[in-house]
Structure 1
């Protein structure tokens, strides 16, 4: 195989390894995200998990204490038993050896054999039984005697024999193999005084029975603890379910209520706290339903009253308008005071007619009957059409009207009548509050959104008034004389017109720095705005620096349906 082929094989293998590693990482990440999501969203999972963790820790501590105490008790009992045997064996060996004055007497060896056999019992040859050893390291004529053969040097150890040889009693636990496999032994030794010197007596007792009993106790405790933990987890899951289920039902019922399904209620069963919660919830829902229905009825009556009054006033207004027009046309033939009255009557009738028109428009929005007649529209001529009729008013107020629009068309899918009405209201308000200073109308588009900003340099707005200006009949200064005879509904209608387009109508103002109103419309009808090409806070405003507005982008969505 050539080097190029080997390189290709290695590259393929590395690519497959990277792909496999990426798949593993994604699966692990997905698993962790799922666990984290379940932990955050499920109260039952958190309660059961915490119960299992805490109960497992408690059971583990309990099992450790029980196992430790069991092993200690069994070992203590084994020590007490061997101590008793060692005491009796020491006395018996002393009685048997006290008759000998010299270690080399002929019966000494046989007596030692009898002592070991007697102390070891009838099962001395059983590898699993205890072992008795008699030694005399200080007497050269006597060799060690043990109840059965085997190498005990590893179990006995020099530290134990040293203590016993020096006249003390020694105890130790050793592991070794004395014919029954690797076993743990309890080793005890004591000196036995005779006329010819000191003899050492050792008991080597296997702890097999104690270890087996301790193992069984540990297994029983662990099995019982694990069963208890599982039962606690199951119990906590059942109890948590009893509590969480009504809460979930209450949450779903509340969501349905918030969605407008006011007839939703919880099922009340029993007389406990959860039943009391369900009954209280149902009572609250019933009260809310009654209040909402009452408010809806009042709102419906109010809208109907406004619409009916507006319609009913049209007929007498038309009659009065005809008479007023006739008087106004002939006002030159009347005395000066009557002529002035005719002019005032004409002006107030115009204002009254505008008020009725605005009330009808507001009633359409309140009833959900407003319709958007969107079509591709050039905003440049609309801006001029909204500004030109107000130039006479601006001249009377000593205000310079400046219009800054692009040379090329700005095409937007919008209702031209509503957009022109919005701009006419904004420019008229700006001229009213300009205090003789210039008013600038600027149109900017970036292909995604188009914005018209109307800037004045009058008294401005106080903090918080940038939201109040769109309220119905709200005026910043009620004592201020108006030049245009507005109805107080213009900005409210303009805000509804902007929302109907899926656009924004916003206000900014500061005391002594004037105000700026910004209308932002999506270029395509149905797009959702994410930004505006014009800053809401003017660049010439003396305010702390703010972050640049986000670049606008449109998120396509289906246009909202409007009630017919």
Structure 2
């Protein structure tokens, strides 16, 4: 549930509770006042009409006198009933009178009661008629009058209460919408600025309005973004300096390394004529010079990837031929499944680097037999390199393409530069493809290279 909807629901709930409390209380109070006033007026009117019949004749009441009394007290809208000593007269139905009201009148009280009659609500008022001495005459008078107008007024009050409540709800929703808009506007700006910051736009800022809590949050966000921009700028500058330093050093080392390689090649050719220790030293120097040359070349290649200057030299090649040449040139003893006729548009030099690094890694760190499989799947070229070793552990698998990552931290040096798999991954990415490492179900590591056949970058 969004914050806007929660605010609107809160305002709606508050308005409903307020409307029900205010309008309901007003309705109940007005209804009771109207009903009570109507009942009081009816009782007073009936009492006045009865009093106009005094003094009563001294003779016992008969049917004619009861009829006259009922006619005098009924009024224009009502009906009346007069009864005494088993006689009764008038237009009112005696069945309307409840036993409770009869008991109250018989006890000498003036009573009234609302009763359903003829599909509506009517008011029954009953009392005893007194003689001049204050004693009971034995005559009971009941007046039945409609309560319709009062009920209509009460109904009108109820409708007005509902209308007022509905208008209050609409007003509260309008105010809630405006309040939500005023509150959520800065929140939305803050959200968009945070999204831009997450996307790398370090210049994203939020306008600060007012001095409330939202303004404080916006100010804090701006200061945090400024600090982050400064630190990221420093890190980028330091990273650029480091890359430039590595690139410069690598290029500067190439010239003396070329001379050293030439010298060590001569020494390597003469190792057979050198004494035992001298021959071993010459072979060691030659091997380490080659390793150093390979490391410098790999560093130069990595700096090209980091600086964005690495580019593809695409060509329409026979993939099986390129892979076979890579395996033969390096003397790799592997089991290869390379069907003929698989052609793709790619950079053959970079494919050679990828295959050489993958197969060399499998031979160094895995166990034979190592297999290389080539096939086409949809619009992709797929090359699988698998070994039969122990495979990659769960700790190594996420970092297998990281630069200079060593699975065994206690191992001081390895034969490779530590950049081979990283360079292979970068070359696959440069082609618009993927390179994924996994473990085979039967044991051993499996590297899957996927490249687009059309050479898309």
Which residue number in structure 2 is paired with residue 160 of structure 1?
A: 97
* Unmatched tracts of structure 2, length 5 or more: none
Q: Is the 8 A contact 2:128 2:137 kept in 1?
A: no
Q: CA deviation at 1:512?
A: 9.9
Q: Is the 8 A contact 1:447 1:523 kept in 2?
A: no
CA displacement, residues 531-559 of structure 1 (integer Å, 9 cap, x when unaligned) = xxxxxxxxxxxxxxxxxxxxxxxxxxxx4
Task: Give the Cα–Cα distance (whole angstroms) in 2 for the partners of residues 160 and 422 of structure 1.
Answer: 108
* 1:101 matches 2:60: yes
Map residues 332-411 of structure 1 onto 2, 5 A cutoff: 332-391=272-331, 394=333, 401-406=334-339, 408-411=340-343
Question: Pick from 370, 386, 390: which aligns with 1:459?
Answer: 390
Q: Is the 8 A contact 1:470 1:491 kept in 2?
A: yes
Which residue number in structure 1 is paired with residue 82 of structure 2?
A: 135
Question: Pick from 85, 104, 122: which aligns with 1:185?
Answer: 122
* 1:471 matches 2:431: no
TM-aligned CA distance change 1:199 to 1:132, over 3 Å: farther
TM-aligned CA distance change 1:164 to 1:516, over 3 Å: closer
TM-aligned CA distance change 1:512 to 1:102, over 3 Å: closer
Q: CA deviation at 1:88?
A: 5.8
3-state DSSP of counterpart to 2:97: helix
Task: Give the Cα–Cα distance (whole angstroms) in 1 for the partners of residues 98 and 434 of structure 2.
Answer: 99
Which residue number in structure 1 is paired with residue 345 of structure 2?
A: 413
Task: Give the Cα–Cα distance (whole angstroms) in 2 for the partners of residues 444 and 482 of structure 1.
Answer: 36
* 1:503 matches 2:439: no
CA displacement, residues 327-361 of structure 1 (integer Å, 9 cap, x when unaligned) = 33444454343333222222222111111110011
CA displacement, residues 492-527 of structure 1 (integer Å, 9 cap, x when unaligned) = 10111111122221112389932222212233333x
Which residue number in structure 2 is paired with residue 34 of structure 1?
A: none
Question: Pick from 429, 439, 448: which aligns with 2:370?
Answer: 439
Task: Give the Cα–Cα distance (whole angstroms) in 1 for the partners of residues 96 and 150 of structure 2.
Answer: 25
TM (normalized to structure 2)? Answer: 0.85
Which residue number in structure 2 is paired with residue 172 of structure 1?
A: 114
Q: CA deviation at 1:297?
A: 0.2
TM (normalized to structure 1)? Answer: 0.70
Q: Is the 8 A contact 1:412 1:450 kept in 2?
A: yes
CA displacement, residues 208-244 of structure 1 (integer Å, 9 cap, x when unaligned) = 4423442443344334323322332222222222221
Task: Give the Cα–Cα distance (whole angstroms) in 1 for the partners of residues 136 and 250 of structure 2.
Answer: 138
Which residue number in structure 2 is paired with residue 534 of structure 1?
A: none
Task: Give the Cα–Cα distance (whole angstroms) in 2 for the partners of residues 115 and 160 of structure 1.
Answer: 15
Q: Is the 8 A contact 1:132 1:204 kept in 2?
A: yes
* 1:517 matches 2:450: no
Task: Give the Cα–Cα distance (whole angstroms) in 2 for the partners of residues 293 and 241 of structure 1.
Answer: 36
TM-aligned CA distance change 1:386 to 1:175, over 3 Å: farther
The range that moved more, 80-89 or 189-198, is 189-198
Map residues 55-66 of structure 1 onto 2, 5 A cutoff: 55-56=15-16, 58-60=18-20, 62-66=22-26
Which residue number in structure 1 is paired with residue 232 of structure 2?
A: 292
Q: Is the 8 A contact 1:471 1:492 kept in 2?
A: yes
Task: Give the Cα–Cα distance (whole angstroms) in 1 for the partners of residues 52 and 29 of structure 2.
Answer: 34
Q: CA deviation at 1:160?
A: 1.5
Task: Give the Cα–Cα distance (whole angstroms) in 2 for the partners of residues 231 and 255 of structure 1.
Answer: 35
Q: Is the 8 A contact 1:455 1:516 kept in 2?
A: yes
Q: Is the 8 A contact 1:164 1:200 kept in 2?
A: no
Task: Give the Cα–Cα distance (whole angstroms) in 2 for the partners of residues 350 and 201 of structure 1.
Answer: 131
Q: Is the 8 A contact 1:266 1:281 kept in 2?
A: yes
The range that moved more, 188-197 or 322-331, is 188-197
Task: Give the Cα–Cα distance (whole angstroms) in 1 for the partners of residues 154 and 398 of structure 2.
Answer: 79
Q: CA deviation at 1:204?
A: 2.6
Q: Is the 8 A contact 2:346 2:431 kept in 1?
A: yes
Task: Give the Cα–Cα distance (whole angstroms) in 1 for the partners of residues 94 and 338 of structure 2.
Answer: 107
Q: Is the 8 A contact 2:247 2:300 kept in 1?
A: yes
Q: CA deviation at 1:382?
A: 2.5
Task: Give the Cα–Cα distance (whole angstroms) in 1 for the partners of residues 159 and 121 of structure 2.
Answer: 20
Task: Give the Cα–Cα distance (whole angstroms) in 2 for the partners of residues 50 and 479 of structure 1.
Answer: 62
Which residue number in structure 2 is paired with residue 426 of structure 1?
A: 358
Task: Give the Cα–Cα distance (whole angstroms) in 1 for the partners of residues 441 and 262 of structure 2.
Answer: 45
Which residue number in structure 2 is paired with residue 280 of structure 1?
A: 220
3-state DSSP of counterpart to 1:457: coil
Map residues 218-237 of structure 1 onto 2, 5 A cutoff: 218-237=158-177
Question: Pick from 44, 58, 76: which aligns with 2:36?
Answer: 76
CA displacement, residues 427-468 of structure 1 (integer Å, 9 cap, x when unaligned) = 111111234x31122223223323222221223222131122
Task: Give the Cα–Cα distance (whole angstroms) in 2 for the partners of residues 113 and 482 of structure 1.
Answer: 131
Q: Is the 8 A contact 1:505 1:517 kept in 2?
A: yes
Task: Give the Cα–Cα distance (whole angstroms) in 2 for the partners of residues 291 and 161 of structure 1.
Answer: 92
Task: Give the Cα–Cα distance (whole angstroms) in 2 for the partners of residues 161 and 258 of structure 1.
Answer: 81
TM-aligned CA distance change 1:100 to 1:509, over 3 Å: same
